[in-house]
Structure 1
Amino acid sequence: MKPEPAADLVAHLAELEQYALALPGASFDLKWQQCRVVSLENKMFALFLPDSVAYKVAAEDFLALTGLPGVRPAPYLARARWIQVSSLQGLALPDIKAGIAESRKLVLARLPKTLRLYYGA
């Protein structure tokens, strides 16, 4: 599947946000005046900015993903292995959705066992 042109990511941000909010246990919050945050049990797993989306990735995938066009380490969150996607040049929309779902799983894995069981992990 060929990625769409770079400018099209902004057109899909609302769709990506709705996808993230539809994941089990997801909740929404507005932080830092412009960041639309999707969390699981108050642990962030996706950030939506006016022109990009950021989410947590597995440590082993971080370097490979940040080498793609339109993908960079997320400011202030790179040390926790977050990437910021600002275009669809390097990642197609289904790949970003899969990344958001995986980010939720990474956050879920760090929750207490009772909460993991509650969310079916």
Structure 2
Amino acid sequence: MNLFTKKGFDAFVKRLPGTSFVDQWDSHVAKVGDKVFTLLGEGDEARIVVKCSEESFEILTALEGVGQAPYFAKRKWVEIRASAPLSEEEVVHYLTRSYDLVAAGLTKKLRLELGITLPVV
């Protein structure tokens, strides 16, 4: 599966409980409980935007092909370009982690309604 295509991106994201899609900001946006957790941009070079921890932000932005996400950077969001030196498994990890971080900010009631169980940390 190629996560940097709409078909691959959707196939992976649909597996996560309570997700929905909307096309906005010239991108294909995935939300959980109406909160953005990732988006796919398919311009000159495909890119995926995810939320990450402070530590991951520092590590990822040091890599070629990864940078602060425009309009999201203040909240520790990164833009991963298809050319970044990350394996598909690593991109899946960061997509899943972004989902977990955003879902954790939802109310307990909404998480229950959406069938979301967060990993024990």
Q: Which TM bucket (shorter chain)?
A: 0.7 to 0.9
Q: Which TM-score applies when normalising by structure 2?
A: 0.82
Distance 2:97 2:29 in 1: 16
- Indicate the RMSD between aligned Cα atoms, in angstroms: 1.7
Stretches of structure 2 that go unaligned for 5 or more consecutive residues are none
- Return the match for 1:44 from 36, 45, 51: 36
Stretches of structure 1 that go unaligned for 5 or more consecutive residues are 1-8
| 1:22 and 2:15 matched | yes
Number of positions where the alignment pairs a residue of Structure 1 with one of Structure 2: 111
Which structure shows the higher helix fraction? Answer: 1
Distance 2:65 2:100 in 1: 24
Amino acid at match of 1:86: R
Larger relative contact order, structure 1 or 2 (CA cutoff 8 Å, min sep 6): 1
Q: Which TM-score applies when normalising by structure 1?
A: 0.82
Question: What pairs up with 1:1-121 in 2 under 5 angstroms?
Answer: 12-14=4-6, 15-32=8-25, 34-50=26-42, 51-118=46-113, 119-121=116-118
Using the aligned pairs only, state the percent identity.
Answer: 30
Which structure shows the higher strand fraction? Answer: 2
Q: What's the secondary structure of 1:49's corresponding residue?
A: strand
